[in-house]
C-alpha cells in the first residue's frame, strides 16, 4: 500500500545531541516537505524538495538540515538539539499530477 | 503571495448539531483550496479539495465546503456532527497551475463535539 512513513513517532532527547528524523514515501512523489507544528497547532514549512539533490528552505527559519539522495527518502537532521526545537515535525509529499499533499503521522520531539 | 485566515480558533458544538468552520483566503492568483483534519497524535488527512468546476465540494465523513470566489471564502460544513468529529481542522491553499507547490495553511480550528 502506497504511504508515507515517519520514524520515530516520539523522541525524548537531551540537549546537544544529534538527531535524524526519518521520512519515506512509497508513492514515487517528486515533491517532499517538512512542516513544524507548534503546540498551538499552526504549521510552518521549514524545508522542501522538488526532486533528488534538490532542497530549499521554507518560510520558517530552522536550524535543521535535510537531504534528498533518493526519491523516496527525505530525512531531517538537527546537529545539536536544543529545548527550543521541541515540537511536532510533519513530513508530506505530493506528485506532479496531484494537487494535495499526503502527510505522515508526525514525529513529536522533546528536547530536555 | 497567499495567506489563509481561519476565523474561529475553537468551535464547541453538541452532538447532532450542524457546524460551520470558516476559512477566508487572500491571493493575487487563482488558488486550489483544501480542508484537512488532524486527530490527536496523528498526521493530517485530506477531507476535501476544490480544484475547479462546481463550487460545492463533498468530502469524506459527511463534510462539504463551498467555494465563494467573490468573498474569497471556503467554509466547511457538516449538517450533523458526531463525537468522533472532534479534531483539529486546517484550511489550506496552493496557487493555481503550480501543482505540488507547498500548501499554505491557516492556524487551525479546534472542533469539540460533546454529548
Q: Over the stretch A2-28, which tens digit does the pLDDT of each residue have?
A: 599 999 999 999 999 999 999 999 999
pLDDT of residue A98: 61
Looking at chain A, which residue has its C-alpha nearest residue B105?
A43
What is the distance between the alpha carbons of residues B50 and A61, in angstroms, rounded to a whole number? 30
Sort out which chain B residues have CB atoms less than 8 A from A41's CB and list them: 38, 88, 90, 107-108, 110
pLDDT above 90: residue B106: yes
End-to-end CA distance of chain A: 36
- pLDDT, position A2: 58
Assess whether pLDDT exceeds 60 at residue A92. yes
A35: which chain B residues are within 8 Å (Cβ-Cβ)? 105
Residues β-bridged to residue B21: B76
Q: What's the number of CA atoms in the CB half-sphere (13 Å) around residue B91?
A: 31
Which of A112, A108, A89, A96 has its CA nearest to residue A43? A89
Mutate to test the interface with A, among B95, B103, B108 (most CBs of A within 10 A): B103
DSSP A59: S
Q: B1: pLDDT confidence band, cut at 50, 70 and 90?
A: confident
Amino acid at each position: 500500500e502506497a504511504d508515507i512513513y515517519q520514524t520515530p513517532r516520539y523522541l525524548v532527547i537531551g540537549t546537544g545531541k544529534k538527531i535524524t528524523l526519518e521520512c519515506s514515501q512509497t508513492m514515487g512523489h517528486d515533491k517532499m516537505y517538512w512542516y513544524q507544528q507548534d503546540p498551538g497547532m499552526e504549521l510552518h514549512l521549514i524545508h522542501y524538495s522538488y526532486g533528488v539533490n534538490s532542497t530549499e528552505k521554507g518560510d520558517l527559519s530552522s536550524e535543521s538540515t535535510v537531504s534528498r539522495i533518493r526519491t523516496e527518502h527525505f530525512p531531517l537532521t538537527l546537529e545539536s538539539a536544543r529545548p527550543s526545537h521541541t515540537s511536532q515535525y510533519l513530513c508530506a509529499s505530493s506528485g506532479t499530477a496531484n494537487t494535495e499533499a499526503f502527510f505522515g503521522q508526525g514525529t513529536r520531539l522533546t528536547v530536555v | 503571495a497567499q495567506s489563509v485566515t481561519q476565523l474561529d480558533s475553537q468551535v464547541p458544538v453538541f452532538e447532532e448539531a450542524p457546524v460551520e468552520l470558516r476559512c477566508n483566503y487572500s491571493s493575487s492568483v487563482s488558488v486550489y483550496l483544501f480542508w484537512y483534519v488532524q486527530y490527536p497524535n496523528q498526521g493530517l488527512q485530506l477531507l476535501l479539495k476544490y480544484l475547479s468546476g462546481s463550487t460545492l465540494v463533498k468530502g469524506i465523513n459527511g463534510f462539504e465546503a463551498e467555494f465563494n470566489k467573490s468573498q474569497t471564502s471556503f467554509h466547511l460544513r457538516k449538517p450533523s456532527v458526531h463525537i468522533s468529529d472532534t479534531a483539529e481542522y486546517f484550511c489550506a491553499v496552493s496557487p493555481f497551475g503550480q501543482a505540488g507547490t507547498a500548501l499554505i495553511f491557516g492556524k487551525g480550528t479546534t472542533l469539540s463535539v460533546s454529548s
